[in-house]
Structure 1
Amino acid sequence: MDNVAVQSPPAARDARPAAKEPTGFDRFRVIVVLGALIALGPLTIDMYLPALPAIGNELAASASTVQLTLTGTLLGLGIGQLLIGPFSDIVGRRLPLIIGTALHILASVACLFAPNIAVLGTLRTLQGVGAAAAMVVALAVVRDLFSGRAAATALSRLMLVMGVAPILAPSLGGAILLTGSWRGVFGALAIIGAVLLVVAIFALKESLPPERRQAAQFRPVLRTYRQLITDRDFVLLAIVAALAMSALFSYISGSSFVLQEQFGLDQQAFGLVFGVGAVALIGASQFNVVLLNRYSPKQIVFAALVAATVAGLILTALTTTGTGGLYGFIVPLWLVLGAMGFVLPNAPALALSRHGEAAGTAAALLGAGQFGLGALIAPLVGVLGNDGPAMAITMTGGAAVALLALGVVVRLGGTAEPAV
């Protein structure tokens, strides 16, 4: 793959950030603040997972219907990013972040009083829209301040948070369920949102100066989106990132039913086993920083997708035949999630490196693709049976098609390798 010529599109000429990249303590501070903010998305998605069966019982909804509340969250995350990304390119990063986080808090409070599954699903969608602000702004700030391998390294550090949050979220949700109902989970999310709102107001500096902002007009926004979707390599790399994320959401969507109902784990044990997968994601994303010193992001993504596809086929075979029981499910699943820990920071970095002049809009389109596809995949696990084979098939399918999409990028002679 290294013999492929680097082709930088016209839009990538402004790929480098205008400001000096932060170093030392400033770099550490930026990553910590962005990590705290980006945690809102995974916490919103994962904290209520142990409560899915209980929600179905109380609101008289089937498992697949309850999973649609997760679909609503992912849909909100996708749509929210499409709206917030261009808005952040026009007015800067801080204002959209503050507005979105406030919306998340209000929706979380309203979830406490949801009378039925339809209302809960609607409010979860609004939660997703609010959480989208933190996720798209965090990506855009990374692109504002970092470039090339530094951007991939910063995203790897954020993946540490994206990995820790799923470990803590189900366990925290399970702890709340020990002393209260599933509604208490949304009260906790409101409190977390309030804390992060304070962080957004007082700890995050504006990273997009006025002279680099887009015009406050509708047509330029459409023109920017048109430039993005006509950049073949950006689209293909966005598809790679979205398919990798869909494999992760297949696990998120079905894990509570597979582990609790098929394998008989209680809510607390589910939280611990769920965390094992997050440990794999964390370890891989942090080891990715080491690998970046020797290999390009493109090489790492290719190798990781091959490994994920092979591990996914093994997972599918073991779960379909019932071989190995719980360990036959967890071990290959751990390998798939570990492989995705290499894909998830590198694929977005490759895509975003092509459009530094519209980082917010590019991050929005990238995130919308990831969560939009996740919204489609989440109920698919339920439709296929909410069991181990259903989860394995959807995860493996996502990894395999992502590998094919990356192969198209290379075969057609294009690459979005970041400049160094």
Structure 2
Amino acid sequence: MRSSKHAPQGASIGMALVVLLAMLTALDAMAIDMYLPGMPAIGLEFDISAGEVQQTLAIFLIGLAFGQGLYGPLLDSYGRRVPLLAGVLLFVLGSIVAALAPSIEWLMAARFLQALGAAAGLVAPRAIVADRCNVNESARIFSVLMQVMMLAPILAPVLGGYLLQHGGWRSIFWALAALGMIGVLWGLRSLPETLPAASRAPLRLRAIFSAYGRQLVAPVFMAYVLAGGFVLGALFTYISGAPFVFTQHYGLDPQQFSYLFASNAVCLVLFGAAANAMLKRGASEQRGMYIGLVLHTLAGAGLWLAAGSLALPLWGYAALLALAIGSLGLVFGNLTALTMAHAGPQAGLASALMGMLQYLLSAVVGYVVSFAGTPLLSLPATVAICGGLAILCCLAAEGMRSRARAAASAGGA
């Protein structure tokens, strides 16, 4: 095992490390998307209702939100490497317990452990990138991370269905354990420590709550966090609503829908590649982000109006939705980089708070949308409204940044 390597801020991040970080970040998506095809089989084996099986997904999401808040202080106190690898080991343990679960109660406990572990993969990579890169470099890295991560929703349902068919639902969790173990072994060999001991914060509850409080009243940071929460709310509304739109309204079978779902993930990857190309040509993070948000909002609004007033054919609905979702590839990397650029000295804690608040806000969006009627209209309406709110939040952040710079210039004069 290699010893930890300390990397100075501004050092470049190689593609091998980007792929490793993307793999660890994607553990939560793999644990959700691979497992969904096996839910009916789990219900049959344990003789429980569909609602009880769905609780295993709900408890996973709860663990994911709780875990992100837990890892923030740990990352700032013990460095990035050890908490991240410990979290992935916890994910492996949870996957093994899930594969051996003798009852639904054991499976729920295992899913919670899985989520606590997977949360480390969401928080730590953002902090590692923030440690090493300036905002422009961070935006490029986050765009590449998004492109690699989007392989998860493309491949996971297909892989989960194959494992279910040939090995039963428990084989899905054995595969997740193996994936996590690959991440641990790769990380032990290649993952650097990017937070020097001199920069670490002591793990004291009063200091932790004080740091969280400072981040909560940091206006530019919070404006970008809210923007990200609205964008995630639109994305999760798409994930939950699209199956009903395309299978119930347009009559696609599950296999056909999986291809459509994968094609939208490909659109995200392509737009993410475009974001990276723009940054390499010298475009600002704000430019790519605003182009993506405007496309996202206009496509959602156009689809909302068209679906409400016309008998929109399948290809028309699918094309506008692909544009609305794909354009987020221009947003995610740039918005994450801008958010973390205003995180202050404790990037791990800020990354945790960012993830926790954005997941909570997206959950609120999903809860409100559940009362909005048919997904045929509520899905594009949510995309348009959330996109517009995200734009307003980003404009507010830019305004506060400009006023702060003007005040600093006046004070210096």
Normalising to structure 2: TM-score of the pair? Answer: 0.86
User: What is the match of residue 193 of structure 1?
Assistant: 180
Q: In the TM superposition, what is the alpha-carbon distance from 1:20 to its structure 2 partner? A: 5.2
1:360 to 340, 348, 356: 348
Q: Which has the higher contact order (CA 8 A, sep 6+)?
A: 1
- 1:239-388 to structure 2, matched below 5 A, reads 239-292=226-279, 293-320=281-308, 323-378=311-366, 382-384=370-372, 387-388=375-376
Give the Cα separation in 1 of the matches to 2:403 and 2:175: 43
Give yes or no for the alignment of 1:83 onto 2:73. no
Alignment CA distance shift 1:191-1:267 (3 Å)? farther
Paired with 1:126 and 1:151, the residues of 2 have a C-alpha distance of 30
Which whole-Å CA distance do the structure 2 matches of 1:81 and 1:316 have between them? Answer: 34
> Residue 14 of structure 2 aligns to a residue in which SS?
helix
- Runs of 4 or more, structure 1, over 6 Å off, are none
**Match in the other structure for 1:37:** 24
Q: Distance in 2 between matches of 1:263 and 1:84?
A: 43
Equivalent of 1:61 in 44, 47, 50: 50
Distance 1:184 1:382, change over 3 A: farther
- Partners of 1:174 and 1:271 within 8 A in 2: no
What amino acid is aligned across from residue 84 of structure 2 in structure 1?
L
Distance 1:19 1:121 in 2: 41
**Hey, what does 2:409 align to over in structure 1?**
none
After superposition, the Cα gap between the structure-2 partners of 1:405 and 1:196, relative to the gap in structure 1 and judged at 3 Å, is: same
2:64–2:115 Cα contact (<8 Å) kept: yes
Distance 1:225 1:390, change over 3 A: same
Q: Does 1:133 align with 2:125?
A: no
Is 2:93 the counterpart of 1:106?
Answer: yes
- RMSD of equivalent CA atoms: 2.8
* Counterparts in 2 of 1:301 and 1:175: CA distance versus 1, 3 Å: same
Alignment of 1:158-169 (within 5 A): 158-169=145-156
Deviation per CA, 1:189-222: give whole Å up to 9, x if none. 2221222122222221211111111122222222
- Give the superposition deviation at 1:283: 0.9
Q: Please state whether the residue corresponding to 2:331 is helix, strand or coil.
A: helix
Counterpart CA distance in 2 for 1:136 and 1:415 is 30
Question: What's the CA shift string for 1:70-124, capped at 9, x where partnerless?
Answer: 44333322221111011011001122112211222222233343744x7655543
**Is contact 1:253-1:381 (8 Å) kept?**
no
Conserved in 2, the CA contact under 8 Å of 1:75 and 1:372? no
Pair 184,265 (structure 1): closer, same or farther in 2 beyond 3 Å: farther
- CA 1:54 to 1:239, structure 2 compared with 1: closer, same or farther past 3 Å? farther
Superposition deviation, residue 254 in structure 1: 3.0
Question: Which runs of 5 or more structure 1 residues have no equivalent in the other structure?
Answer: 1-16
Structure 1 position 256, deviation (Å):
3.7
Match for residue 219 of structure 1 among 193, 206, 210: 206
Find the aligned partners of 1:415 and 1:325 in 2 and give their Cα distance: 48
TM-score normalized by the length of structure 1? 0.84
In the alignment, which residue of structure 2 is the partner of 1:7?
A: none
Q: Distance in 2 between matches of 1:251 and 1:86?
A: 32
Size of the alignment, in residue pairs?
A: 396
Match of 2:80 in 1: 93
Cα shift at 1:362: 1.0
The separation in 1 between residues aligned to 2:293 and 2:14, in whole angstroms, is 30
Q: CA deviation at 1:130?
A: 1.1
1:302–1:225: structure 2 CA closer, same or farther, 3 Å change rule?
Answer: same
Greater Cα shift, 323-332 or 205-214: 323-332
Distance 1:280 1:318, change over 3 A: same
Specify the code of the residue in structure 2 equivalent to 1:239. Answer: L
Range with bigger deviation, 182-191 or 354-363: 182-191
Matched, 1:229 2:216: yes
Contact 1:253 1:379 in 2 (8 A): no
What is the identity percentage for the equivalent residue pairs of Structure 1 and Structure 2? 34
Looking at structure 2, the residues matched to 122 and 389 of structure 1 have their Cα atoms a distance apart, in angstroms, of 37
Does the Cα contact within 8 Å between 2:291 and 2:330 map onto a contact in 1? Answer: no
* Residue 136 of structure 1: how far off its partner (Å): 0.8
1:53–1:257 contact (8 Å) kept in structure 2: no
Q: Structure 2: 5+ residue runs without aligned partners? A: 1-5, 406-413
- Residue 275 of structure 1 and its aligned partner are, at CA, apart by 0.9
Q: How far apart, CA to CA, are the structure 1 residues paired with 2:146 and 2:188? A: 23
